[in-house]
Structure formats: C-alpha cells, structure tokens
Structure 1
Amino acid sequence: MPALGLSLIVLDGTIAGISLPSASQSMEATRRSAGSAIDTLRAQGTDGPLGTAAPAAVSALDDGFAGATRTSLFAASGFPALGLLAALQIPRTLIGMRSDQSS
C-alpha cells in the first residue's frame, strides 16, 4: 500500500473518521491531482463531502502526500549518485585499456 494510504488507516476500520469508500476516493483524487485535491478539501471545510471529518482527513492526506513525496525524492536522488560513481570509473577504465594496448 502506498505511503499516502498508510497515513490514513485507523485500526477500527475507518480512515480519519470517514468510510472506507470515501477514503479510497479521497486518496485516489489526491494521487491523480498531484496533491491539489487536498487544497480543495481544505477550502470546502466541513461543508464539503467529508463533513466534520474533513479536517482530520485533510491532515492525514497532507501527511501522507508529504511522506510519499519525501520517499520519491530520496529514491530519485540515488540515480544521479549512481551515475556519478559510474562516471568516476571511466578514467580508470581508459587507463587500464591504454596499458593493455601498450603491452
């Protein structure tokens, strides 16, 4: 389950005080909108479709989206680091190739 979903799960079968189908819809909308659905729910407040559970749901979605973003950035930063390490090996490889050719 993605980090966004994990931040919303509560042991009693509800998610931030809303039903599982509503929570699932909220998570999917947040994922598809790249987080802008959180601002929409925040602006609707308790008058929106989530009612009095909106503040708790917005907080949980906000925390989950931030966690998912942090994880993605951490994972993505590994690829340039790997590229740098590989690039540092190129001069050693070229030196080894030159010495093999001169022998």
Structure 2
Amino acid sequence: MSTKVYAGTEVPVNEEGFFTDPGQWHDDMAAEIARESGVGELTERHWVIIRFMRKEFAEKGTGPTVRALGKTSGVSVKELYQLFPKGPAKLAARIAGIPKPRGCI
C-alpha cells in the first residue's frame, strides 16, 4: 500500500489511488485529487456529486453506481459524464475520498 499527500496530509491509498480510510479525507483535498485526475476546477455541480457520494457511502458502506447517481443525485447521467469523464462513479468516488463503488471496473 502506498501513500499520497493531499492538502498537506499524507494518506494511505490503494493501488488505484482510492483512500483506504475515507475518514482522513476533507474538502480541501478534493481540488488536488480532481486536478490530478484530469477533472480540473471543481464547480458547484461537482460538489453536489461529491457530497452525495460521501453521504451514500456513510449510509450504505459503498458509493452509488452511475445508474443510481443518475436516478437519485439530481444530476443526469449525461451531465455526470461531462463533469467526470472516463467513468463518473469511479472518478467521483476517488475525488470524494471513498472506496471504488461495487460494480465499477
């Protein structure tokens, strides 16, 4: 297992870059993870999804799939792919500091 430094804090991550302890994540880290992932500047629409991902993880122990995100987050699947290209659920989970959702490759 390796570590990364985000917002001045060293955190353990798995081989795909997902936090192994989501409790170590904080908002300031998201912008750095997003830039590193090629997402660029986070907008309020990104934050809607990031907060939703963290809430779902806290309640259910896993992040939602793209289908669930599109149905329950208030953001359409089309917009999800615009906000988080290359796999919205997986990329949003990484930025939100939660494990990769079940069902994501």
Normalised-by-shorter TM-score class: 0.3 to 0.5
Q: Which structure would you say has the larger Rg? A: 1
Higher helix content, 1 or 2: 1
Higher strand content, 1 or 2: 2
TM-score, normalising length: structure 2: 0.37
